[in-house]
Homo-oligomer: A and B are copies of this chain.
């Protein structure tokens, strides 16, 4: 690459902004050009200065959030790559960002090297995704039904292990088989299921599996 990759960043948190700049500064092929504290500011700066290759875009910002900004930006300058860089990894944000035209979706905990690689890959016509995000996109693809279902549910949180158990439950497996598959004692599996039921407010396998699917927990 003869030319440096020119980058703009949109983020309202100046501390995180600084962290990102630092990560980028390790690499000589990257050139951090400017930043904005919200979507509107970013778009205004683009009016005078469009020679940017990649935008790293936060989602939660005042005035105009990153998803709206992405939508407008990609419509106006389609050649510019937009990579979401955020702490939020809920399905709705991911899906909205993709719909808005994002070329990648990374989480802020990403290390400098992976960020760099993601930027380069995106410029080369790929897409940047942290593995946990990739998993969620796979799940979204598997259940195309609920794309319409935008309304909020009361955010039931299951632990990772509980989700694993639930996934096995959904295959119709029994406690003992699940225990074997996960290298646990049946007692533990049963306790996990008990806890799942409490969290989901259900009283049987079927109800649990159905509720989990509704809430896209599996």
Instruction: Give chain A's interface residues, CB within 8 Å of chain B.
Output: 75, 77-79, 95, 98-99, 101-104, 118, 121-122, 124-132, 134-135, 137-138, 140-142, 144, 146-148, 160, 164, 167-174, 181-182, 202-207, 209-210
In the complex with contacts A168-B79, A172-B210, A131-B128 CB distance below 8 A: yes
Inter-subunit contact B141/A132 (CB<8 Å):
no
Inter-subunit contact B79/A141 (CB<8 Å):
no
Partner of A141, one of B95, B160, B202: B95
In the complex with contacts A98-B142, A181-B79, A209-B206, A131-B121 CB distance below 8 A: yes
Interface-centre pick from A99, A137, A138, A207 (highest chain B CB count, 10 A): A138
In the complex with contacts A79-B168, A181-B77, A126-B137 CB distance below 8 A: no
Minimum distance in angstroms from A117 CB to a CB of chain B: 9
* Inter-chain contacts of A171 with B (CB < 8 A): 75, 78
Interface-centre pick from A98, A172, A174 (highest chain B CB count, 10 A): A172
Tell me the complex Cα distance, A101–B124, Å. Answer: 28
Partner of A130, one of B103, B126, B147, B210: B126
Inter-subunit contact A79/B137 (CB<8 Å):
no
Inter-subunit contact A141/B131 (CB<8 Å):
no
Inter-subunit contact B78/A167 (CB<8 Å):
yes
| CB pairs A–B below 8 angstroms (21 shown) | A78-B168, A79-B182, A98-B141, A99-B142, A101-B142, A103-B135, A122-B131, A125-B132, A125-B160, A127-B137, A127-B138, A128-B131, A129-B134, A134-B134, A137-B141, A140-B141, A141-B141, A172-B202, A172-B204, A174-B204, A206-B206
Minimal Cβ-Cβ distance residue in B for A130: B126
Inter-subunit contact A172/B207 (CB<8 Å):
yes
* Inter-chain contacts of A127 with B (CB < 8 A): 131-132, 134-135, 137-138
Q: Which 7 A-B pairs have the closest CB atoms?
A: A126-B131, A127-B135, A127-B134, A172-B207, A121-B131, A172-B206, A79-B181
Minimal Cβ-Cβ distance residue in B for A206: B172
